[in-house]
C-alpha cells in the first residue's frame, strides 16, 4: 500500500472550533482491521452531512473521516472470505461514524461488514444506490412482508425528492405498486412522476395540524423518511392492517400519537435501521438490487463530485434542498 493518501478530515481545535478539509495523511493513520479497501467511489447521505459539520449525534471523536458508504477493490486481506483485487461494498455499521469512513482513498474494516459486489452491478452503481438505496429496499421489503398487495391503493412516500424517498418510489413502481409522493419541492414534481410516482402531493398542502387520534383512512401503507408531525399525521391516516416503514428524521424526531391507530386499526409502525441490518439479509438485498429490483436508469440519478467539492453538497443536504443522489469519485 502507498505511504500516504488523501482523505476528508473533520477536526476540532483547542477552542472547540470545527473545521474540515481534504488532507494527505500517512498510511499509518488508518485504523487497523483485517481488510484494506482502495475506495473508488463513496457517496453523501444526510448522516454524512451531519458528520461533516462535526455533529455530536454522529461524530464522537476527532479527527473524523465521514462517509458511511464505500465501494472499491480489496487492497490487502487477512480474511479468507475476501481476496486481493475483489470488488466490494461497505455501507454503514460504524463506517463514517465511529470508524474511519469512505471519504478516503483507503478504508480498513472487518470482513463482517463487507458485501461482495454482485456481478450484475458496477462499483459506481453500488454507490449511486448506497445506504439510500439499501434503506429504500429495506422499506419496500417491509411493505412486502406486511402483505400490502399492489392493488390495495396508493402507497405514500415522504421526503420524495431525497435519496431514500426517490429510490423508494422507483422500487415500489418496479414491483407494480401505485405511489403517491409527498415533496416540499414544487420544482421536482415532474421528475417524481418520471421516477414512478402516479401522483405528487405538495408537503405544505397536508394539514398536519389536526389533533384527532384517528383521521380518515387514505393509504394502505407508507414509507416515511421525514418523521415528526408528518409521520404522526400519516400513521393516523393509514388503513386497517396497514403499515408504515419509518427510517428518517429530516423533519423532526417527536411523535404526537395515541395508541388508537395501532389497537383500533392494527397499523404497524416498522422501524428501519440500515446500520446494523444483518450481513446475510444485507447481501441478499444487494443481490436483489442488482437483479430483480435493478433500476434501469441508475446512472442518470446521481451527480458525481470529487473529494474537493463536498462542501456545497453538505450545505444543500442540511438545508433540505438536495435532490436524489450525489456520489464521490475517489480513486
Binding residues for ligand NDP restricted to 238-297, rule: CB under 6 A: 247-251, 272-275
Name the residue nearer to ligand NDP (CB basis): 130 or 261: 130
**Distance (Å, whole) CA 280 – CA 96:** 21
Nearest-Å Rg of the Cα atoms of the chain is: 20
Q: Does 229 bind ligand NDP (CB under 6 A)?
A: no
Among positions 35, 132, 327, 330, the unique one binding ligand NDP when judged by CB under 6 A: 132
For residue 34, the minimal CB distance to ligand NDP (Å) is 25
The verdict on 135 binding ligand NDP (CB under 6 A) reads yes
Site for ligand NDP in 16-75 (CB under 6 A): 45-47
CA torsion through residues 278, 281, 287, 289, sign: negative
Quote the CA–CA distance of 88 and 117 in Å, as a whole number.
Answer: 5
DSSP-derived letter for residue 106 is E
Rounded to whole angstroms, the Cα distance separating 189 from 244 reads 23
- Count of residues in contact with ligand NDP, rule CB under 6 A: 31
CB closer to ligand NDP, 46 vs 177:
46
Q: CB neighbours (10 Å) of residue 155?
A: 29
CB of 230: closest distance to ligand NDP in angstroms? Answer: 6
Regarding 130 and contact with ligand NDP (CB under 6 A), the answer is no
Long-range pairs of 257-261 with CB within 8 A, sequence gap ≥ 24 = 257/213, 257/232, 258/213, 260/213, 260/214, 260/236, 261/213, 261/214, 261/235, 261/236
- Choose between 167 and 293: whose C-beta lies nearer to ligand NDP: 167
Q: Is 133 in the site for ligand NDP (CB under 6 A)?
A: no
Nearer to ligand NDP among residue 144 and residue 150 (C-beta):
144
DSSP per-residue letters across 106-153: EEEE-GGGEEEPPTTS-HHHHHHHHHHHHHHHHHHHHHHHTT--TTS-
CA distance 223 to 184: 16
**Per-residue contact track with ligand NDP, 73 to 102, x per CB under 6 A?**
------------------------------
222 — phi, psi (to 5°)?
-150, 150
Give me the half-sphere count of Cα atoms (radius 13 Å) on the Cβ side of residue 187. 3
Of 96-104, 156-164, 215-223, 305-313, the segment contacting ligand NDP by CB under 6 A is 156-164
Q: Does 225 bind ligand NDP (CB under 6 A)?
A: yes
Can residue 184 be called a binding residue for ligand NDP (CB under 6 A)? yes
| Residue with the CB atom nearest ligand NDP in the bound state | 162
Q: How far is the CB of 55 from ligand NDP (least distance, A)?
A: 11
Closest CB 159 distance from ligand NDP, rounded Å: 3
Give the cell for residue 101.
Answer: 469512513
Q: Is 326 in contact with 313 (CB distance < 8 Å)?
A: yes
Contacting positions for ligand NDP (CB under 6 A): 45-47, 131-132, 135, 159-165, 183-185, 203, 225-226, 247-251, 272-275, 317, 320, 322
Amino acid at each position: 500500500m502507498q505511504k500516504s493518501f488523501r482523505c476528508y478530515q473533520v477536526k476540532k481545535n483547542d477552542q472547540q472550533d470545527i473545521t474540515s478539509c481534504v488532507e494527505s495523511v500517512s498510511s499509518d493513520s488508518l485504523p487497523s482491521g483485517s481488510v484494506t479497501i482502495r475506495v473508488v467511489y463513496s457517496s453523501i447521505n444526510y448522516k454524512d452531512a451531519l458528520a461533516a459539520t462535526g455533529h455530536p449525534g454522529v461524530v464522537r471523536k476527532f479527527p473524523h473521516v465521514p462517509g458511511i458508504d464505500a465501494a472499491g477493490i480489496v487492497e490487502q486481506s487477512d480474511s479468507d472470505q475476501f481476496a486481493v483485487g475483489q470488488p466490494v461494498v461497505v455501507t454503514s455499521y460504524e463506517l463514517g461514524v465511529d470508524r474511519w469512513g469512505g471519504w478516503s482513498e483507503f478504508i480498513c474494516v472487518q470482513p463482517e461488514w463487507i458485501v461482495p459486489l454482485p456481478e450484475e452491478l458496477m462499483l459506481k452503481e453500488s454507490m449511486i444506490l448506497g445506504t439510500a438505496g439499501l434503506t429504500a429496499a429495506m422499506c419496500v421489503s417491509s411493505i412486502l412482508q406486511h402483505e400490502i398487495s399492489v392493488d390495495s391503493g396508493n402507497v405514500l412516500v415522504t421526503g420524495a425528492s431525497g435519496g431514500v424517498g426517490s429510490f423508494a418510489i422507483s422500487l415500489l413502481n418496479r414491483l407494480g405498486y401505485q405511489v403517491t409522493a409527498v415533496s416540499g419541492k414544487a420544482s421536482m414534481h415532474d421528475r417524481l412522476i418520471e421516477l414512478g410516482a402516479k401522483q405528487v402531493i405538495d408537503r405544505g398542502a397536508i394539514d398536519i395540524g389536526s389533533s384527532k387520534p384517528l383521521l380518515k383512512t387514505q393509504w394502505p401503507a407508507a414509507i416515511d423518511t421525514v418523521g415528526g408531525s408528518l409521520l404522526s399525521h400519516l400513521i393516523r391516516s393509514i388503513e386497517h392492517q396497514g403499515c408504515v416503514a419509518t427510517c428518517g428524521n429530516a423533519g423532526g424526531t417527536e411523535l404526537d400519537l395515541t395508541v388508537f391507530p395501532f389497537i383500533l386499526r392494527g397499523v404497524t409502525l416498522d422501524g428501519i435501521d440500515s446500520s446494523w441490518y444483518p450481513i446475510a439479509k444485507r447481501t441478499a438485498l444487494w443481490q436483489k438490487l442488482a437483479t430483480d429490483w435493478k433500476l434501469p436508469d441508475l446512472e442518470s440519478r446521481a451527480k458525481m463530485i470529487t473529494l474537493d467539492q463536498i462542501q456545497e453538497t453538505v450545505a444543500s443536504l442540511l438545508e433540505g434542498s438536495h435532490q436524489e443522489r450525489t456520489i464521490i469519485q475517489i480513486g
